[in-house]
Amino acid sequence: MDYSQFLMMPQEIGLLVVFLLVFLYDTFMPAKTLKGLPLFATIVFGIFTIFSFCPVNVQEGMAFGEMFESNKATWAMKNILNIGMFIVLLQSIKWANSDFVSVRRGEFYELMLLTLFGMYLMISGRHFLVFVIGLETASLPLATLVAFEKKHYESHEAAAKYVLTAVFSSAIMLLGLSFVYGITGTLYFSEIASSIQGDNSLLLIVALAFLISGVGYKLSLVPFHLWTADVYQGAPTMVTSYLSVISKGSAAFAFFVILVQVFGAAYASIWEWMLYAIIIITITVGNLFAIRQRNLKRFLAFSSISQAGYIMLGVVAANHVGMASMMYYILVYIFSNLAAFGVIAVIERKTGKVTTDDYNGLFKTNPWLAFVMMLAMFSLGGIPPFAGFFSKFFIFLGAAQTHSVAIYVLVFIALVNTIISLYYYLLVVKAMFIRQDECVIPAFKSHWTERAGLWICTLGIIFIGIISCIYASLSSITSSLTEMFAMI
Amino acid sequence: MEIFSNMLIYFVIIPILTLGGLALCKNKGIDAIRAVAVTGATALVGLALYLVFYFLRQRHLGVTDDMILTTSVTWYAPLNIKLALGVDGVSVVMILLSAFIVFAGVFASWKMDPLPKQFFLWFFLLSTGVFGFFISVDLFTMFMFYEVALIPMYLLIGVWGSGNKTYSAMKLTLMLMGGSAFLMLGIIGIYFHSTATPGEYTMNLLEIAKNNAIPHNWQMYLFPMTFVGFGVLGAMFPFHTWSPDGHASAPTAVSMLHAGVLMKLGGYGCFRVAIYLMPFAAQQMGWIFLTLTGISIVYGAFSACVQTDLKYINAYSSVSHCGMVLFAILMFNNTAMTGAVLQMLSHGLMTALFFALIGMIYGRTHTRDIREMGGLMHIMPYLGVGYVIAGFASLGLPGLSGFVAEMTIFVGSFEHQDMFHRVLTIAATTSIVITAVYILRVVGKLLYGAVQNEHHRSLTDADATERISTATLIIAVAIIGCFPNFFINIIRDSFNPVVEALTSVM
């Protein structure tokens, strides 16, 4: 065996090292020092995040019999996820040391890191076996994480819902993959792509639909979204924020690769239309349901459903601008959504309040938290000069690159939905800033780690859009993937 | 950095610095907040005056470029999005107007309470958007600044407004953002048809106009989108309903800025983006929008006649006057378009004056209902006289700005020989009479009628800051009325490229 292949996966190895360090700390350190475990895990992960940014490490090519690909796009995507993961870990330090959770804090960090490893495999896998292993590694530990607040009834309910839907959708996806295997006799992306050229079997279309529904569940696209609101509400807020951004981002990237690389050449017109319909209902249903929500976690659940629809616009584009815009969108979305969830988590930990009405007059008592929340809402709603505006504009540009009138109609529907979404994002802003007569939440001081996490998000929201080199580098990375888009 | 050698960028940098300065102020330090705000506003006025001077000198020296002070710096290289700046006569005048109104607005909100710091922060964020919009010639940056100017309105009205403020703020924001959704689609469409050679798409207005590559069938889709997108902000019928509610609920300075500058963004965008880039569709579909704006003019004026709330009266009057701006732009000739810009100037200053006076009156009487007030001329003569001057400007008395503007517009409109334009013009002219009706009705009742409330007798007249704010505007209105040629000389040549483009597709 050629051990140099492992050089292709520096990030995976780095993550495993982080995992092992956390595991060893958890197992062998005296009980007194375990209070430092969350901080230790965060710092180690932070160092890993910074190191994995070094472009020296990027080895391009295929490893392990072409099952695993490493290129600049996967490298960039993993880094984007790392940033999000770092913020989540940073924000969860205080929570992980709280009374009910602290006995199991080691498990929390270990399971989080494991799911991230699964997502890495989803991103880099070029064989369906690797992809499925990645998907399962990313899904199943999350069920444990969702059930992490043992004393809360909702947490259990959420975990049960999550695990049942996860298993069910995996089963459907595996059935679809078995169809693919039956037709082509292989599970390699590249081999499937070349063997289905010109082949137009109905079975393959069914397989494609099953595959889309399997991944669509991960992304909580409508109509595979029914678990989302309950799970988001019941899960601990840190896990919810993890579910809503990181898990979604990795699935979106893997989805793009599969659709374009495997089915791109022969079936582009079919899956594009499937996605077309899914996007329209995803964005619309997500938005319309979000309007009625009073619980902010449910509210953000529906908001994130509609955001997933916007991310899918990049997939429909199926070109390098779309891919760059999608990655950029995910990056911006990580900062915006983690800012919103960060504020919710802080307030929930301190006061236990999570409804919109509780946020009345927040600006008066906690101006800084209200300000961060407002930035997050504006960024999610796509208001300039915040990052969300740029990401929305670019994803629309990417989609419209294809020049068809149908895509313009799609973009128009998405734009109309932006206005609807702006309505409910402004409802939160209204509660915090305009309803100043009653103040439900008293003034309090948040922990420094939580503030640090929110600061990172704030800086990200303000500067990612204005500093153009981030998008430019993503764009140059994706435009170098000529092989991938050659067939489309 | 190349961009910083262009003086135009400082119209954005000054408000941003002011924002920074305000952020450093303490919440309670009202004096520091005022000092920073006044410094920022004064610097803007100074820079705007210098820009006018510079522009005139360039023209005098024989520089005949369409746009001067052009700079283009790449921002998003992969998409060929640039930070492109440049001004022509119209934008110079608009910048001057905005600077004046920001200046007057700072003084009008001198006693802002509560949260003065946050108020001025949002106020200057709005100004950043407005100035940025007028200096950009790149569609992307233009659109970005446009939205930057819109969103602060939500909080300015929602937090500091009065009456049914949450409803009005939400309605205004959603309607304007709805307009910008159309606009964004239009911009994306323009971008992908900006050039004949695929892959070299550009967002630069001047290049797109030079390439003139947008296919005619696409123009027919994109023109209505961009026109409606900007038209919503220009209060075009039937998309004007946000305007009266928004005005009525907004605090004084915001109403001033809103009517004085923000609604001008609509008119400016209509001609700079929609008509300039898509002349063919403009010629083909102009009549639809011309009819709509004709309705705006007359309908707005009639609605103003029956209102009893002072702010609603002026809000509907704004619908009528802003309709006149779009109406004149759609006449597609040099004279009427020059009139449109004069009307923007005139309306901006006059309405700002109106809203400032209404705010001051309301601050004293605590009512805006004209049925509950009367005889204010004896009680507060300074404000009374100011109101009469604003009223006269509005109904087009010679010597004040309204006359010059409306005269130019109607002369320009009459240059068209055909029946359709003639009838519409005559219909629009009736608004002058209707305007006189509602202005004189208010003046007669409010200022000269019997005193309705005995408590009003003890009210005071305007104080120093209020006098500064109103006097600035009154002088400006009179200057435009007496020396219109000064402005016409700046504006007139700027329309040549547009009119040329329009005639070439006839």
pLDDT in tens, A176-217: 999 999 888 889 988 888 888 766 788 888 988 999 999 998
pLDDT band at A116; cut points 50, 70, 90:
very high
Interface contact A419-B166, CB threshold 8 A: no
pLDDT at A484 over 90: no
- Average pLDDT estimate for A275-301: 91
> Quick one: A175 exposed, middle or buried, by C-beta within 10 A (0-12, 13-18, 19+)?
middle
- Average pLDDT estimate for A273-278: 90
Helices of type H across A97-201: 105-124, 128-146, 153-184, 189-195
pLDDT band at A23; cut points 50, 70, 90:
very high
- Which of A426, A433, A473, A481 to mutate to probe the B interface, most B CBs <10 Å? A426
pLDDT at B435 over 80: yes
> Would you call B193 an interface residue with chain A, using a CB distance cutoff of 8 Å?
no
> Would you call A263 an interface residue with chain B, using a CB distance cutoff of 8 Å?
no
Nearest CA in chain B to A364: B115
- Average pLDDT estimate for A256-271: 84
Task: Enumerate the residues of chain B whose CB falls inside 8 A of the CB of residue A411.
Answer: 185, 188
Interface contact A396-B159, CB threshold 8 A: no
Task: Enumerate the residues of chain A whose CB falls inside 8 A of the CB of residue B155.
Answer: 429, 433-434
pLDDT in tens, A423-469: 999 989 888 888 777 777 888 888 888 899 999 999 999 999 888 88
Query: Number of A:B CB contacts under 8 A?
Result: 81
Determine the Cα–Cα distance for residues B148 and B103; give it in Å rounded to an integer: 19
pLDDT band at A56; cut points 50, 70, 90:
low
Mean predicted lDDT score pLDDT of chain A: 88
Determine the Cα–Cα distance for residues B321 and B402; give it in Å rounded to an integer: 10
Percent of all residues in chain A with a pLDDT value above 90, rounded to a whole number: 39
- Average pLDDT estimate for A387-415: 88
Q: First vs last Cα of chain A: how many Å apart?
A: 35
Determine the Cα–Cα distance for residues A37 and A29; give it in Å rounded to an integer: 9
Nearest CA in chain B to A429: B155
Residue B88: partners with Cβ closer than 8 Å, 6 or more residues away: B66, B67, B68, B494
Please report the DSSP string for A436-452 in residue order: -S---SPP----HHHHH
pLDDT in tens, B163-183: 788 888 888 888 988 898 899
- Average pLDDT estimate for B430-446: 87
Q: How far is A247 from chain B (nearest CA, A)?
A: 28
> Would you call B76 an interface residue with chain A, using a CB distance cutoff of 8 Å?
yes
Residue A16: how many other CB atoms lie within 10 Å: 15
The per-residue pLDDT for A487 is 64
The per-residue pLDDT for A375 is 92
> Would you call A468 an interface residue with chain B, using a CB distance cutoff of 8 Å?
yes
> Would you call B189 an interface residue with chain A, using a CB distance cutoff of 8 Å?
yes
Query: What CA–CA distances, in Å, run from A104 to A62, A139, A188, B389?
Result: 38, 19, 39, 76
> Would you call A384 an interface residue with chain B, using a CB distance cutoff of 8 Å?
yes
The per-residue pLDDT for A57 is 61
pLDDT in tens, B345-364: 888 888 888 888 888 888 88
pLDDT in tens, B188-231: 988 888 887 777 888 888 888 888 888 888 888 889 999 999 99
Nearest CA in chain B to A389: B144
DSSP state letter for A186: -
Q: What are φ and ψ of residue B73, in 5° steps? A: -120, 135
Interface contact A408-B189, CB threshold 8 A: yes
Residue A151: how many other CB atoms lie within 10 Å: 9
pLDDT at A488 over 70: no
- Average pLDDT estimate for B35-60: 89
Q: How far is A122 from chain B (nearest CA, A)?
A: 28
Give the total number of structural domains in chain B: 1
> Would you call A255 an interface residue with chain B, using a CB distance cutoff of 8 Å?
no
pLDDT at B375 over 80: no
The per-residue pLDDT for A198 is 67
Task: Examine residue B78 and say whether the peptide bond preceding it is cis (omega within 30 degrees of 0).
Answer: no
Chain centroid offset of residue B111 CA: 25
pLDDT in tens, B296-313: 899 989 998 888 888 888
> Would you call A416 an interface residue with chain B, using a CB distance cutoff of 8 Å?
yes
> Would you call B184 an interface residue with chain A, using a CB distance cutoff of 8 Å?
yes
pLDDT band at A391; cut points 50, 70, 90:
very high
Task: Enumerate the residues of chain A whose CB falls inside 8 A of the CB of residue B151.
Answer: 378, 383
- Which of A368, A394, A422 to mutate to probe the B interface, most B CBs <10 Å? A422
Q: How far is B201 from chain A (nearest CA, A)?
A: 11
> Quick one: B207 exposed, middle or buried, by C-beta within 10 A (0-12, 13-18, 19+)?
buried
- Which of A321, A434, A478 to mutate to probe the B interface, most B CBs <10 Å? A434
The per-residue pLDDT for A310 is 92
Interface contact B184-A415, CB threshold 8 A: yes
User: Could you list the residue range(s) of the whole structural domain that residue B239 is in?
Assistant: 2-504
- Average pLDDT estimate for B5-30: 86
pLDDT at B461 over 80: no
Sign of torsion over alpha carbons A362, A368, A369, A371: positive
Determine the Cα–Cα distance for residues A2 and A334; give it in Å rounded to an integer: 37
Interface contact B178-A416, CB threshold 8 A: yes
Interface contact B155-A389, CB threshold 8 A: no
pLDDT in tens, A300-328: 999 999 999 999 998 888 888 889 999 99
Interface contact A423-B170, CB threshold 8 A: yes
Q: How far is A59 from chain B (nearest CA, A)?
A: 24
Q: How far is A416 from chain B (nearest CA, A)?
A: 7
pTM of the prediction? 0.93
Would you kindly state where each structural domain of chain A is located, as residue ranges?
A: 3-486
Interface contact B181-A416, CB threshold 8 A: yes
Task: Enumerate the residues of chain B whose CB falls inside 8 A of the CB of residue A428.
Answer: none
Contact B336, B415 (CB under 8 A): yes
- Average pLDDT estimate for B93-117: 84
**Which amino acid is located at A453 in the chain?**
G
Nearest to B317 by CA among B408, B239, B423, B391: B391
pLDDT at A340 over 90: yes
The per-residue pLDDT for A311 is 92
Determine the Cα–Cα distance for residues B406 and B393; give it in Å rounded to an integer: 11
The per-residue pLDDT for A15 is 92
pLDDT at A158 over 70: yes
Task: Enumerate the residues of chain A whose CB falls inside 8 A of the CB of residue B166.
Answer: 430, 434
pLDDT in tens, A91-111: 999 888 887 777 888 889 999
Nearest CA in chain A to B188: A397
Interface contact B151-A383, CB threshold 8 A: yes
Interface contact A430-B184, CB threshold 8 A: no
Task: Enumerate the residues of chain A whose CB falls inside 8 A of the CB of residue B140.
Answer: 393
Interface contact A419-B181, CB threshold 8 A: yes
Per-position b or e across A421-460, b if 16+ CB within 10 A of its CB: bbbbbbbbbbbbbbbbeebbbeeeebbebbbebbbbbbeb
Interface contact A384-B147, CB threshold 8 A: yes
> Would you call B188 an interface residue with chain A, using a CB distance cutoff of 8 Å?
yes
Task: Examine residue A367 and say whether the peptide bond preceding it is cis (omega within 30 degrees of 0).
Answer: no
Task: Enumerate the residues of chain B whose CB falls inside 8 A of the CB of residue A479.
Answer: 78
